């Protein structure tokens, strides 16, 4: 059940957090704990540093709970990182020194057929990161109208045949039966999309997953909260895996770091209200990492420091 997740940008992300012996840190996307273990190993026995880990997936939380038997400075919260401020408030009296987001899904989530994320494995059409609550992909696809489905496939998957696929889904559920499995959905998509380099269902599966888990909204909501929770000099480190996510992060960091900078085109210099300083250029996986972990090819890491 636990599965293996090959952590992306492991050393780069932990170095970017600038771990201090008595600092308080948050790994908001625990997964299988690759980054977390590395952070915890930076602390020596006498250090007072603590790490709060968050994940909305109960399997991930089980792994964190077993790790907590080895590390007594590991704190755990199950839930969506949208609740970051509340979760940090529960565990820390003050603000924290660093927050890491390694966005998206973990390999075990994709690899377990019963989670319904994979178009390569037959399983229930679920796709919830938190399988303990909320609507499944099947629930949604069996209730939404074709326009809503088409909008999601286009917006979050840039699927060119979004409308055709959406209409075919509605015909299938009305004339054949309600959708239940990933293979049924793949079968419908394959009637419309022919094989190219990518599997014909890649874009639709990505889009449905992003929609169902409110992935982009979560990122949009959490970034301002993360700044509020950081101490002066604290680090924000975000790893994204697709352009929709990265665009949100990039725009946010740009806006927060440029506000208040003197601009020659402006008649009056605004008050200095920048909240962040961007640290370095965005970081991508090295050739060596890409060789060992092809999943790292789309990863892009951005770092910022609270002013
Ligand atoms: C890419 S994996 C993280 C892998 C981790 N860094 C490691 O090395 O094992 C992303 C994890 O974040 C979780 N996740 C994604 N979005 C989340 C959200 N909005 N709130 C809480 N957890 C989330 C997923 O359930 C998944 O376990």
pLDDT at 33 exceeding the cut of 90: yes
pLDDT at 176 exceeding the cut of 60: yes
Half-sphere exposure (CA, 13 Å, Cβ side) for 220?
7
For residue 263, what pLDDT is reported? 53
Question: Which atom of ligand 1 is found nearest the CA of 10?
Answer: 8
Q: Average pLDDT of the chain?
A: 94
Question: Which atom of ligand 1 is found nearest the CA of 214?
Answer: 19
CA-closest residue to ligand 1 atom 15: 104
274-303 confidence digits (pLDDT tens): 899 999 999 999 999 999 998 899 999 999
Pocket-forming residues, ligand 1, beta carbon under 6 Å: 5, 7, 29, 31-35, 54-57, 60, 80-81, 102, 104-106, 129, 218
CA-closest residue to ligand 1 atom 2: 106
59-79 confidence digits (pLDDT tens): 999 999 999 999 999 999 999
Distance 170 CA to ligand 1 centre (A): 32
For residue 53, what pLDDT is reported? 98
Q: Please name the residue ranges forming H helices in the chain.
A: 10-17, 34-42, 58-67, 84-91, 107-111, 137-141, 146-157, 162-175, 182-192, 202-212, 215-229, 243-258, 287-292
Q: Which residues contact 68 (CB under 8 A, 6 or more apart)?
A: 74, 76
pLDDT at 271 exceeding the cut of 70: no
**DSSP codes joined into one string, 110-178:** HH-GGG---SSS--BS---SSTTSS--HHHHHTTS-HHHHHHHHHHHH--TTHHHHHHHHHHHHHHT--
Tell the burial category of 94 from Cβ atoms under 10 Å away from its Cβ (0-12, 13-18, 19+).
exposed
Please report, rounded to a whole number, the percentage of residues in the chain having pLDDT higher than 90: 90
Distance 60 CA to ligand 1 centre (A): 8
9-25 confidence digits (pLDDT tens): 999 999 999 999 999 99
For residue 270, what pLDDT is reported? 47
Distance 33 CA to ligand 1 centre (A): 9
CA-closest residue to ligand 1 atom 22: 55
Segment 28-57 mean pLDDT: 96
Strands 24-27 and 96-102: parallel
Distance 29 CA to ligand 1 centre (A): 4
50: β partners: 24
pLDDT at 169 exceeding the cut of 70: yes
pLDDT at 266 exceeding the cut of 50: yes
Query: What is the distance, to the nearest Å, from the Cα of residue 88 to the centroid of all Cα atoms in its chain?
Result: 18
CA-closest residue to ligand 1 atom 4: 31
97-152 confidence digits (pLDDT tens): 999 999 999 999 999 999 999 999 999 999 999 999 999 999 999 999 999 999 99
Question: Which atom of ligand 1 is found nearest the CA of 27?
Answer: 6
């Amino acid at each position: 059940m636990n599965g293996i997740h090959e952590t992306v940008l492991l050393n780069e992300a932990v170095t970017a957090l600038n771990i201090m012996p008595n600092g308080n840190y948050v790994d908001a996307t625990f997964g299988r704990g690759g980054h977390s273990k590395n952070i915890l190993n930076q602390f020596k026995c006498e250090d007072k540093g603590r790490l709060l880990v968050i994940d909305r997936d109960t399997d991930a939380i089980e792994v964190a709970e077993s790790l907590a038997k080895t590390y007594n400075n590991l704190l755990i919260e199950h839930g969506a990182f949208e609740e970051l401020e509340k979760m940090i408030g529960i565990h820390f009296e003050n603000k924290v020194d660093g927050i890491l987001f390694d966005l998206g899904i973990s390999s075990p989530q994709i690899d377990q057929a019963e989670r319904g994320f994979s178009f390569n494995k037959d399983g229930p059409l679920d796709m919830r990161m938190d399988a303990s609550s909320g609507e499944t992909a099947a629930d949604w696809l069996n209730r939404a109208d074709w326009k809503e489905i088409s909008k999601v496939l286009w917006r979050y998957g840039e699927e060119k045949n979004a409308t055709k696929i959406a209409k075919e889904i509605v015909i299938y559920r009305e004339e054949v039966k309600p959708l239940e499995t990933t293979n049924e959905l793949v079968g419908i998509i394959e009637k419309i999309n022919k094989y190219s380099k990518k599997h014909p269902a890649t874009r639709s599966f990505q889009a449905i997953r992003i929609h169902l888990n409110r992935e982009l909204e979560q990122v949009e909501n959490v970034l301002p909260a993360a700044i509020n929770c950081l101490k002066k000099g604290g680090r924000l480190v975000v790893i994204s895996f697709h352009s929709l996510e990265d665009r949100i992060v990039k725009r946010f960091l740009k806006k927060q770091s440029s506000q208040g900078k003197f601009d020659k085109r402006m008649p009056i210099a605004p008050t200095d209200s920048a909240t962040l300083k961007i640290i370095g250029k965005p970081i991508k996986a090295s050739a060596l990492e890409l060789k060992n972990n092809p999943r790292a090819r789309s990863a892009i890491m951005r770092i910022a420091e609270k002013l």
